[in-house]
A and B are shown apart, each in its own frame.
Chain A
Amino acid sequence: MRMFLKGNDAAAYGARLARPKVIAAYPITPQSPIYERLSEWDGQGILGARMMRVESEHSAMAACISASLTGVRTFTATASQGLALMHELLHFASGMRVPIVMVNVNRAMAAPWSFWSEQTDSLSQRDTGWLQFYVADNQEALDTVIQAFKISETVLLPSMVVLEAFYISHFMEPVDVPDQEKVDAFLSEYEPAFRLDTKSPRSFCQTVSQAQYAQFRIQRYEAMRQALKVTQIVDQEYGEMFGRRYGLIESHRAEDAEIILVTAGTIGGTTRVVIDELRAMGKKVGMVRIRVFRPFPKESLVRTLHHAKKIAIIDRNLSPGQEGIFSEELKSCLYGLVRDVPVFSYVLGLGGTNVSPAHIRSVIEMTERLKTPPTGPIYDIEGAHA
């Protein structure tokens, strides 16, 4: 059914269609409407899940982990401070190999207080062993939530589907909401590989030795590596069922581009428009939007970018003591595999400031102009961060 939905609602529909049995959540701007929509459906008796209206995000994640270990599909959503509060348990969830799906609405981290979009909250969690998907619009949000359940339940690692505060969460767009029967056919009932079971009583998560720990960590790493393949397969299956697929990365007119602009999230949408404009003017430019950040799609990126003369990357985050995180990750994956293509690292949209087509054009113009990239990130594009 086609509906005119905010991004938060689209995500909520995605969650409801996946039929989780336990949802634990705590409100935080700009996630609260997801929680409220789910609660509304709960009130109407159509949610199908037990809603735990917990007293903090830490408890939300704790409840999801143990509920998942009891053998049911679980879901939660949060943002920023809430995600940070969950930090210890994010490690726990992936350590316990539970397939929780969480929507995180990218919001700037305090201090100081801010409600608007920035990627730092989720990127800070990149080492916790969760899959991370950065979506560009409301439709992709809904679709990725459903896909995430299938991927997670296959590789047995938790997923977070990331949407930007306000640009996705509160913007309304037309969204195709799939039928429940089709989603049921795509995503069957959750069958846990292992669970707490009174008929076979075992203890979960005891203290392990150094060697045992190392082994578990290696196994988790391999599972995350496997997730690259699984994500693609699931995406393909989704495409066959629902007619939409997204891939690990979205590439737009990059095949013969000389300058390729790499980004993530809604900036990708803006960039797409500018690329088309510049192509119409004869410039050989293209775009790559990184959708799956964890596991990092190294091969796809190398394949897509290796022929570029210059690469410009835009981060909506800035890691003190380094640079934009997407840039840092990209550079590391290009190292040794792609001949010396200069990478120009730009930082835009910090604190949720708008990234306009003019900014994108400036980025491309600067990239054309500069021979070599400066040592640090470029964040003073004219008119940026205003």
Chain B
Amino acid sequence: MLKKRESIDYLCEGHMACAGCGEVLGLKLVLEAAGPKTMAVVVPSCLGIILGPFPCTSFRVPTFHAAFETAASSAAGIANALAAVGDEETTVVALAGDGGTTDIGFQALSGAADRNENILYCCFDNEAYMNTGVQVSSSTPQKAWTMTTPKGKPLRKKNMVEIMGAHAIPYCASACSCFPGDLRNKIREAKKIKGMKYIHILSPCPTGWRFPENQTPTVGRLAVETRYYPLYEIRDGREYRITHQPLDMPVGQYLSKQGRFKHLTEEDVEFIQTDVDRKWNELQLKASGGGGMNSKGRPAP
């Protein structure tokens, strides 16, 4: 006997995401966890296409498809309007891609964080401008191929989670659309908090990362299990908590699955592994309250 499915989908079938899309997995989970009393802002990105062509929408919550740079500022406007009429219940979510967050939308995001606007900002990171055909963004990982960096991106990925952590907002987290339980927990956690919440959701993209469309779950899991993309939370810019203990596999297992990395040499892979190791150690230190501070951000005895 099957148990009745509790989760309700706030995304309709019939949307135009690519087959195998890792981003819409995360979107589905975000909308489900946010619930019916939600207003969403979407900006140009794959999400804008997934939203659907007028007059048919795939979203079951009121949504505004705003200008590219304005995910955070538009969401903040809605949040303030709701507060002005005394609505404390409705959750306002800003949904943007990596380009709309780390590049063109960065200013508005930083401003909203600075003002501690009462919004939940979710960045769906497929690590390039995918909607427009795989152009590089500041969220593209180092050495990855894109159409505008055919020899591989020369410099490292912008670390949005740490940047948002440095804004000392109440809640900031990294998540992955292939870890549904972890992502749901984080959205639910965020919903409880009044103020600025930021969740960075790694979204594997078979089209742009160049892997077979059925491999999205594996690629997403490997990203985390190789510690390439750790799952963790930062509260108030100080309290770090790792939310998933990785299986600790070599990063080559993740990279070798993707065509965008197929040009990497052994040296490149070693370079990346060293970088991953260093970042993981730093993260562990922060999560254990090390570096001279305990986990509450106070000097350790």
A63 to B81, CA, bound (A): 9
Which among A66, A69, A200, A208 has the highest number of chain B CB atoms within 10 Å? A66
Cβ–Cβ < 8 Å partners of B85 in chain A: 21, 71-72
Tell me if B242 is interfacial: C-beta within 8 Å of chain A. no
The answer on a CB contact under 8 Å between A201 and B62 is: yes
The answer on a CB contact under 8 Å between A58 and B39 is: no
Count, chain B residues at interface, CB 8 A? 44
The answer on a CB contact under 8 Å between B77 and A65 is: yes
A50 to B76, CA, bound (A): 11
A88 to B80, CA, bound (A): 22
Tell me if B65 is interfacial: C-beta within 8 Å of chain A. yes
CB contact under 8 A between A212 and B60, given known A66-B66, A71-B85: no
Tell me if B64 is interfacial: C-beta within 8 Å of chain A. yes
Q: Kindly count the residue-residue contacts between A and B in the assembled complex, taking CB atoms under 8 Å apart.
A: 154
The answer on a CB contact under 8 Å between B80 and A58 is: no
Cβ–Cβ < 8 Å partners of A21 in chain B: 81, 84-85
For chain A, what secondary structure do more than half of its interface residues adopt (helix, strand, loop), or is it mixed?
mixed
The answer on a CB contact under 8 Å between B39 and A70 is: yes
Cβ–Cβ < 8 Å partners of B59 in chain A: 201, 203
Cβ–Cβ < 8 Å partners of A24 in chain B: 77, 80
Nearest to B42 among chain A residues (CB) is: A203
A310 to B22, CA, bound (A): 70
> A73-110 vs B: 1/0 string, CB under 8 Å?
01000000000000011001000000000000000000
CB A56 to nearest CB in B, in angstroms, measures: 6
Which A residues, 305 to 323, have Cβ-Cβ distances below 8 Å to chain B?
none
> B256-275 vs A: 1/0 string, CB under 8 Å?
00000000000000000000
Count, chain A residues at interface, CB 8 A? 42
Which A residues, 29 to 71, have Cβ-Cβ distances below 8 Å to chain B?
49-50, 52-56, 58-60, 62-71
Cβ–Cβ < 8 Å partners of B65 in chain A: 203-207
A198 to B90, CA, bound (A): 8
Which one of A50, A65, A68, A200 contacts B66 once the chains associate, using CB atoms below 8 Å? A65
A205 to B48, CA, bound (A): 10
Cβ–Cβ < 8 Å partners of B69 in chain A: 58, 62
A67 to B41, CA, bound (A): 12
Which B residues, 101 to 123, have Cβ-Cβ distances below 8 Å to chain A?
107-108, 110-111, 114-115
Among all A-B residue pairs, the 4 with the closest Cβ atoms = A55-B111, A63-B77, A66-B77, A70-B81
Q: Which residue numbers of B lie inside 8 Å of A, CB to CB? A: 36-39, 41, 48-49, 51-55, 57, 59-67, 69-70, 72-78, 80-85, 90, 107-108, 110-111, 114-115
**A59-B73, A66-B81, A201-B61 given. 18 additional CB < 8 A pairs?**
A21-B84, A22-B84, A54-B73, A54-B76, A56-B111, A60-B73, A64-B77, A67-B78, A67-B80, A70-B77, A70-B78, A71-B85, A197-B62, A198-B90, A202-B63, A203-B57, A203-B63, A203-B65
